[in-house]
Amino acid sequence: MKSMEEELVVQFSPEQSQEKKGFLPVRVIKEIWREITFGVGTWGALRPIFAVLLSIIPFLYLGQHFNREHRRGLDWFLLQIPLALTIILWLGLYLWSIFDAWRDAIAFKSQPQDQS
């Protein structure tokens, strides 16, 4: 039996830098959008912003209700009554509620959601 040996030669051509196609402002906007929604989708990226916008409405603490923290929203609503006598403490609670709504929205989007 005769043995046949073949030599297989593979040649790689040097990679040429691929220039990105498209108009520069469109590419910039696409890249910014991709970075904003990285890994969580559009709603996951916008949820904290929406929670902050709701929590900016004074006296109602809607950011906590949006994050399904109804008990906390009610507690803070009732807590503001005595704090209203001292504007500085009420302002502190108001600013903290905005931060807290943002923080809870960030944590909420990282939890797995049951889609049933």
4-18, 80-94, 100-114 — most confident range: 80-94
DSSP string covering 44-55, please? Answer: HHHHHHHHHHHH
pLDDT at 98 over 90: yes
Place of tokens 């040429």: 16
| List of residues 6+ apart from 90 with CB closer than 8 A | 80, 83, 84
Q: How confident is the model at residue 97 (pLDDT cuts 50, 70, 90)?
A: very high
Mean pLDDT of the chain: 79
Q: What percent of the chain is modeled with pLDDT above 90? A: 18
Q: Are 51 and 67 in contact (CB under 8 A)?
A: yes
What's residue 75's pLDDT?
Answer: 92
pLDDT confidence tier of residue 37, bands split at 50, 70 and 90: low
Give the number of other CB atoms < 10 A from CB of residue 109. 17
